[in-house]
Structures are given as structure tokens and as C-alpha cells.
Structure 1
Amino acid sequence: MIARAGANRAWLLYALTTVVLWGFWGAFSSLSPEHGFPETLVYCIWSLTMIPPALIVLAQNKWRFDRTPRAILYGLAIGLLGAGGQLVLFYAITRGPAYLIFPIISLSPVVTIALSFFLLGERTGKLGVIGIVLALLALPTFDFIPQAGGSGQGSTWFVLALIVMACWGVQAYFMKAANGFMAGESIFFYMMVAGLALAPAAYAMTDFSQPINMGADGPLLAAGIQVLNAIGALTLVFAFRYGKAIVVAPLSNAGAPLVTAAIALVIAGVIPNPLKLAGLALALVAAVLLAIEPDTADETLDDETASLPPLSSAI
């Protein structure tokens, strides 16, 4: 019972840590491109920032990681789906309007919830269901900014946006499924490997005909910001380990924009438009409901896996 109580608390701790880290990351992620450091090179920097947290948790786990074919397959699938979706996104925003692309991508938890419901048999209580619905209603409002003009070059952007949404939704499902038979440290290690493997593709996508800022506010600033993303991805792995995917996915995706909006309001004095205010209100209510829903811990954990991982001592 003690271990079970710890597991109940663990998923929320890790999920909220991801929310805070991704919230700060979202608030400052545009600084590097604004200072002349292209997003494709930001990806390369991000892949490098995955290395330190991966090595730290592996060291805490005494350098043990799963090497079975199944573990390698799942680990690389998780990493490639996440990193590959990011590369597709780079191309999508050159073909269509970002204000329509990002709301579509933000619905990736729908894919995760559907797969977890039908394939993993996950269920939650009434508060959880209401929270999930509110979170899904809130997600598209965060990036929706109506603009004048056309909708981009044909419908290619729409297909690409759906691909990214599917990649990230399936990635979260695999992350949850993999936690059932392999360590979170191993999952993140393979995510790091996959991210690094696709870095040359991001580098090749870079337009070097344009001036690139290689000063302190270029790659160094990008590294400081992207490490928040990397650590948030690590804590998300453990949130999926201890919590249900149908709860963790919408909570992390709806909660992070709340933190981002709060930071923007405090630092820049930016007041969200009415649509975003409505979305933030929905997300706040959803986050509270998902956090207090008692039926959110993974009931399949045995006594050994219910104990907190070494990462808990570092956050």
C-alpha cells in the first residue's frame, strides 16, 4: 500500500514537472530564431541537450539499459516518432499557415487517448473524463490566431500537420506501452540516440545562404532553452510510467501552455485574446480535474516497479 501511494503521487509529480519545464521552454523558445539562429539548427542543439540528462539517469541506474530486440524497437520508435515529427513540422510551416498547423498538431493527445483506450484498456473516472474533454477543447485555442490572406500552398500543409499529430500521438502511446516492460532510463536513452541520428537531416535542411548568428545569443541561448525541453521529455517518460496515458497526455499538453501564458503575462505584459483566455480557463479546470481524479495511477505496476525511480531524487 505504501508503494501504491508513492506511485499515485509519482505520476503527478513528473507530469507537473514536465508542465513547468515545457511552459518555460515554450515562453522562450522563439528567442533563438528571433536572434538569427534557424530552427533547424535549434533542433541540432536540442539533440545535443538530450545527452546530459540521458547519461545522468543511466549513471543513477548503474549504466544498465535494456538491450532486447523489443526494447530497442520500441525505444527507437519512440525517439524517431518524436524527432521525425519535429522535422516534418519544420517543412510544414514553410508550406502553410502556422496558426492553423499548430492547433491541428495540438490534438495529438486524441490519438494517444484512442490507442490507450482500445489497445491498453485504460479507463478513468468521471472527473478524469471531464478533464480530458476540457483539455482537448482547450488545446486548439492556444495557437489559433486568425490572420488575413490565403491558407498556404495548397493542402500539403494540412497533410503534413496530420502526420505530425499522428507521430506525436503514437509516440506517447508507445512511450506508455514501453514502460510496461523496460526501464524509463532505457526509453530516454533510445530517444536521445534517435534524436541525434536525425540531426544531420535537420542540418541539411538549414538555409546557409541566410546569415546565421553564431554568437552567445545564438547556439548558447538555444542550448539553455532546449535543455528545458530535454529534461521535460525525461520527466514525461516517468509520468507515463506511473500514470495512465489517457490522463498524462492531455494534462501535459494543456498544462504547459498555461505556464507559458503566465510567463508571457508577467514578463512581457501580454494579455491573451478572448479565445486564448477561454482556452486557458478550460485548461486550468481540466488540469485541476485530472490532478484530483483518484483513478489515475497505473494499476498494472507491481510492487517492484511501484517504487520511485532514481530520478525522483533529482527533481
Structure 2
Amino acid sequence: MTAAAPASAAPGGRIWLLYALTTVVLWGVWGAFSGLSPENGFPETLVYCVWSLTMIPPALVVLRQAGWKLDTDPRAIAYGMAIGLLGAGGQMLLFYAITRGPAYLIFPIISLSPLVTIALSFVLLGERTGKLGALGIVLALMALPMFDFAPQGGESAHGSEWFLLALGIMVCWGLQAFFMKSANAVMRGESIFFYMMLTGLMLAPLALWMTDLSAPINWGLSGPALAAGIQVLNAIGALTLVFAFRYGKAIIVAPLSNAGAPLMTAIIALAVAGVIPGTLKIVGIVLALIASMLLAIEPDSADEDMPDPESDPEAAASAVAD
């Protein structure tokens, strides 16, 4: 077994912000174009399978840079599998939820997952932020539902099952972000992402089983090839998010990434697709922009509360255990 003791020194300064903003940009572009493959006749369940494959190259690249050192002690495996299963499992629930209820109500609920991360990080990790950061968090949480809110009729026919599923996804992704932060204290970020890739692949057969293979499927370049080009942005964004949580506070990184990515998607929609957003989306864009700026300039954003796993792995492991 390998010990969870990264060899290199942790980068100082605000490197977490660079990683977080990279995630925002990549996920923003991904969000703007992720609907193209299903629109071209390539089912979302197969898009998931393609996404799981796009996780492999970045996982191998960063693992190679770490000298092929994979953390395999029981705690590392438990953390890695939990993070991966919560993320991929939430995605599986989402596929089912959108067949049972209105997406315009499901996604605003899911977008509040940072509430779970912030609450757990505040109570269990003792993370705190200054006034600017606190205001940024509040504005980000206010902005999140506005990006996906699009009132339509007919919701009374959907029942309540979709609501419980949406809550489940919100909890899964909120817990995933919290565990991602906690795991970074006792294992390498490269190992975390490897286990995320592994669990994503493990659930791919389930996504394939959920696919109606009897229906027409676009197997051309505008199907799986286009999906791969788009989903690799998601995969790399997930990788940079791991390192954003490694060097930054979860209480800051979670709302920044969850508000910033929809903001980037909205900007792209305006600039490229010529889409004119509704009033609520415009308000959401403004709130998210202000929130992102406040979170980025908050001077107390660097993660100083948790011991550095790279310089003192024993102290970091002890802190998480406590």
C-alpha cells in the first residue's frame, strides 16, 4: 500500500483561484454546448458513457506526473470511491429524474448543492471567510436557481417523485464537494481524480442499460465524436476542481464554481448563440458576476485552517479524523 504523503511542496499564494476559474471557464463552455449531442440524436445516457471515457486521459496524465503513485490505503480508497460514486451516481439519478419531472424545476434545486458543502465545511472543518466572502456566498446562492428557472405549464401532472430525486442529487453533489475537500487533506489530488474516473467507468454499463438501443441513434461525427469533444471539457474541469478544493476553502470554491460556470454559459449564449435571456436570468448573471468578483478578491480565501498534507501528512490526517 502507498501512504498518502505527496512528495512535492504545495504551491503557495492563490493557486486555488487559478484552478477554480479554470473550472468555471471549462464548465461554462461545456454547459453552453452540452445539449448539442442529444439534439443531434445521441442519447444522454450514451453521452454519459462517452464522458466516462474522456475521464481516462487526464487521469493518466496527472497520475504519470505524480510518478504513478496511487494512494491505496483503505482511507484513500474509501474517500476516492465515495467522491466518484456520489458524482456519477448523482448523474445517474439525474437521467431518471428528468424523465419524471420538469427540468426547469429540477435544475434550480440541484444548483443549490453548495448549501450542503458550505454547511458541512462550516460545522465539520471549521472553515470561515471574511465579510466579502460571506456576501459573495449569499449572492452566489441567490443567483444559482435563476439560471435554470424557466416557468412553463403542466407541472401539476408530474407528482412529487421528481422533487425527491432532485433533492437526492443536490445532496449527492454537495456531499461530493465536501468529501473532495476532506480527501485532499489525506491523499493526492491525482489519486482522487483516478478514483473519480474509475467509478465513472463502473457506472457506464448502467447508463448503457438505460439506453433505448432500439431507437434511432446518431453514430456519426455529430454524435459520439462531438460528445467526446464537449465532454472532455467537463472532465478537465473536474480535475481542476479537485485541485481548487485542495488549495482553497470549500466554503469559497463551491459557490464560486457553481455560480461562475452558469455565468460563463450565459455569456457564451449571448455572444455566440445570440440568445436573449429573460429578466430572471439577467438578474442571475449580475448577481453571479458580483459574487464571483467578491469571492475572488476575498483576502481570507486561502485555505489556512487545514494542515498541509504535502508538508505534514500526519497532522492533516489527524485533523480530518478529528
1:250-289 paired onto structure 2 within 5 Å:
250-289=255-294
Q: Quote the offset at 1:152 in angstroms.
A: 4.4
1:169-248 paired onto structure 2 within 5 Å:
169-248=174-253
Query: Does the CA contact (< 8 Å) of 1:103 and 1:139 recur in 2?
Result: yes
Distance 2:160 2:121 in 1: 30
Query: Does the CA contact (< 8 Å) of 1:85 and 1:163 recur in 2?
Result: yes
Structure 2: gaps of 5 or more residues:
1-8, 313-322
Deviation >6 Å, runs of 4+: none
Q: Secondary structure at the match of 1:224?
A: helix
Query: Does the CA contact (< 8 Å) of 2:108 and 2:147 recur in 1?
Result: yes
In the alignment, residue 77 of structure 1 is paired with which amino acid? Answer: A
- Partner residue in 2 for 1:114: 119
Query: Does the CA contact (< 8 Å) of 1:102 and 1:143 recur in 2?
Result: yes
Query: Does the CA contact (< 8 Å) of 2:143 and 2:287 recur in 1?
Result: yes
Distance 1:111 1:303 in 2: 24
Distance 1:21 1:32 in 2: 17
Query: Does the CA contact (< 8 Å) of 1:95 and 1:152 recur in 2?
Result: no
Query: Does the CA contact (< 8 Å) of 1:111 and 1:170 recur in 2?
Result: yes
- Partner residue in 2 for 1:312: none
Query: Does the CA contact (< 8 Å) of 2:185 and 2:309 recur in 1?
Result: no
Distance 2:156 2:302 in 1: 42
Structure 1: gaps of 5 or more residues:
307-315
Q: Quote the offset at 1:305 in angstroms.
A: 5.0
Q: Secondary structure at the match of 1:94?
A: coil
* Percent identity (aligned): 75
Q: Secondary structure at the match of 1:210?
A: coil
Distance 2:25 2:160 in 1: 35
Q: Quote the offset at 1:266 in angstroms.
A: 1.0
In the alignment, residue 62 of structure 1 is paired with which amino acid? Answer: G
The correspondence for 1:159, drawn from 142, 155, 164, is: 164
Deviations 1:242-280 (A, max 9, x none): 000000000000001111111111111111111000011
- Residue 19 (structure 2) pairs with residue 14 (structure 1): yes
Q: Secondary structure at the match of 1:8?
A: coil
Q: Quote the offset at 1:298 in angstroms.
A: 1.2
Q: Quote the offset at 1:209 in angstroms.
A: 2.4
Distance 1:305 1:209 in 2: 55
Distance 2:34 2:135 in 1: 31
Distance 2:207 2:255 in 1: 28
Distance 1:227 1:182 in 2: 24
Q: Secondary structure at the match of 1:7?
A: coil
Q: Quote the offset at 1:303 in angstroms.
A: 8.8
Distance 1:174 1:304 in 2: 18
- Partner residue in 2 for 1:309: none
In the alignment, residue 287 of structure 1 is paired with which amino acid? Answer: S
Q: Quote the offset at 1:179 in angstroms.
A: 0.3
Deviates further, 256-265 or 226-235? 256-265
The correspondence for 1:25, drawn from 30, 34, 58, is: 30
Query: Does the CA contact (< 8 Å) of 2:186 and 2:309 recur in 1?
Result: no
- Partner residue in 1 for 2:59: 54
Deviations 1:61-82 (A, max 9, x none): 0100100000000000000000
The correspondence for 2:71, drawn from 66, 73, 88, is: 66
- Partner residue in 2 for 1:302: 308
Distance 2:118 2:302 in 1: 15
Query: Does the CA contact (< 8 Å) of 1:97 and 1:151 recur in 2?
Result: no
Query: Does the CA contact (< 8 Å) of 2:90 and 2:172 recur in 1?
Result: yes
In the alignment, residue 270 of structure 1 is paired with which amino acid? Answer: V
In the alignment, residue 214 of structure 1 is paired with which amino acid? Answer: W
Q: Secondary structure at the match of 2:155?
A: coil
Distance 1:147 1:81 in 2: 30
- Partner residue in 2 for 1:311: none
Distance 1:273 1:143 in 2: 11
Query: Does the CA contact (< 8 Å) of 1:8 and 1:296 recur in 2?
Result: no
Q: Quote the offset at 1:151 in angstroms.
A: 3.7
Query: Does the CA contact (< 8 Å) of 2:34 and 2:230 recur in 1?
Result: yes
Deviates further, 156-165 or 265-274? 265-274
**TM-score, normalized by length of structure 2?**
0.92
In the alignment, residue 70 of structure 2 is paired with which amino acid? Answer: F
